Structure 1
Amino acid sequence: MIIQSIIVPRMSTIPVHEARARAILRWLVREKIVEESLSTCGLTGNRMAHAIGEGARKVVEHPELLPFGKRINGLEVVTKRCIYTPQEDFLEEAGCPECRREVGEALFDSLEDWMPGQTDNFTCPECAHEDDINGFLFLQPCAFSNLGFIFNGWADAGFRQSFLDDFADWLDQPVAVVRVKQPGN
């Protein structure tokens, strides 16, 4: 079982997201957190990812839990619209930040319009408050965006808050960290 730690901006559509992804990747390479060259250390698609670097030890709480020496250990950068939720035991519960009522069922049903990019927003069926879907309250960390950074096998090491703050600065957006369990070896 591979536990991914996914850093996602809390905004549906990041402007110039591909250029932003390249800038963040250059920063991560410069800090030696990941390797510059792609290798087959990823988990999804063609398995190409940026392997873990020695600098990763300085951005996590428990460096001894990083996946050094594991076949799957790399960073995958996603530059398409994706839904980032835990796959196991996800409750699909959400609340409106305005009226504080439960709106999870309606919100998750609205993803059929969100996914193809027909809208970035969700409107609360209880009070008509409208905001980017990421502006609603979730019981479990999740995010919806056209940009995501999947760190394969890094979740148990736990990112330091200073690293997440730096990541948010690079994105110009607050971030969510989503833990996802995936089959793998």
Structure 2
Amino acid sequence: MREQQAIIVPKISSFPGHEARARAIVRWLVQQNVIEEQLSTCGRTFNKMAYAVAPGARQVVEQPQLLPFGQPVNGLEIVYKRCIYTPLHDFLEEAGCPQCRQEVGAALFDRLEEWMPGHTDNFICPECGHEDDINGFLFLQPCGFSNLGFIFNNWAEAVFTPDFLDEFAARLGYPLSVVEVKL
């Protein structure tokens, strides 16, 4: 089985109170028995510490037989720093302006040097001058730009249900992207 990730990212660059909201999401996922309550060494990064997949995860995916039960890397890792979440392979770097609908991907991705350190959350369309949070622009492939990310290691192939994603977004208070990464 090829290693992969499903990353849930709120569509906001600077999520207010991101650490407190992440703790609330973890409590909810534990209550639903989607993840285990205690951290263990089932992650890929951050000293491999993550929240392991739990039996209730079968209720939030479309193909529960593809969940990573029994795999050494199967947990939820949470990222609390500003990150760019894109597919690693075959990412097209194409984006469009929601106002004028022109292709602005090259300019947008060139500006990530200003976005990454937090100099700005916004991008200005070079075609029409429309300004918005970078997440407000249109991307051909799901990607995300935020100081909060939920990395579900080896869950991507199981595919989250729409109801679960709707509830996750409601609990975050922001729309979200689900970025699938094949490693």
> TM above 0.5, one fold?
yes
Q: Secondary structure at the match of 1:113?
A: helix
Q: Which amino acid aligns with 2:29?
A: L
Q: 1: CA distance between counterparts of 2:47 and 2:96?
A: 37
Deviation at 1:73, TM superposition (A): 0.3
Q: Which amino acid aligns with 1:91?
A: L
Q: Secondary structure at the match of 2:38?
A: strand
Match of 2:109 in 1: 108
Match of 1:10 in 2: 11
Q: 2: CA distance between counterparts of 1:129 and 1:9?
A: 21
- 1:95 pairs with 2:117: no
Q: 1: CA distance between counterparts of 2:168 and 2:46?
A: 25
Match of 1:83 in 2: 84
Q: Secondary structure at the match of 2:13?
A: coil
List aligned pairs for 1:1-80, cutoff 5 A.
1-80=2-81
Residues 39-97 of structure 1: CA deviation (Å, up to 9, x unaligned): 11001131100000000000000000100011110000111100000010000000000
Q: 2: CA distance between counterparts of 1:167 and 1:146?
A: 17
Q: Secondary structure at the match of 2:181?
A: strand
Q: Which amino acid aligns with 1:166?
A: E
Deviation at 1:129, TM superposition (A): 0.2
Runs of 4+ in 1 over 6 A off after TM superposition: none
Q: Secondary structure at the match of 2:45?
A: coil
Residues 79-119 of structure 1: CA deviation (Å, up to 9, x unaligned): 11000000100000000000000000100011100000010
Q: 2: CA distance between counterparts of 1:39 and 1:4?
A: 18
Q: 2: CA distance between counterparts of 1:117 and 1:167?
A: 25
Unaligned runs of 5+ residues in structure 1 are none
Q: 2: CA distance between counterparts of 1:160 and 1:88?
A: 24
Deviation at 1:2, TM superposition (A): 1.1
Match of 1:126 in 2: 127
Residues paired across the two proteins, number: 182
Match of 1:177 in 2: 178
Q: Which amino acid aligns with 1:156?
A: E
Q: 1: CA distance between counterparts of 2:65 and 2:90?
A: 27
Q: TM-score, normalised by structure 2?
A: 0.98
Q: Which amino acid aligns with 1:13?
A: S
Q: RMSD between aligned alpha carbons?
A: 0.6
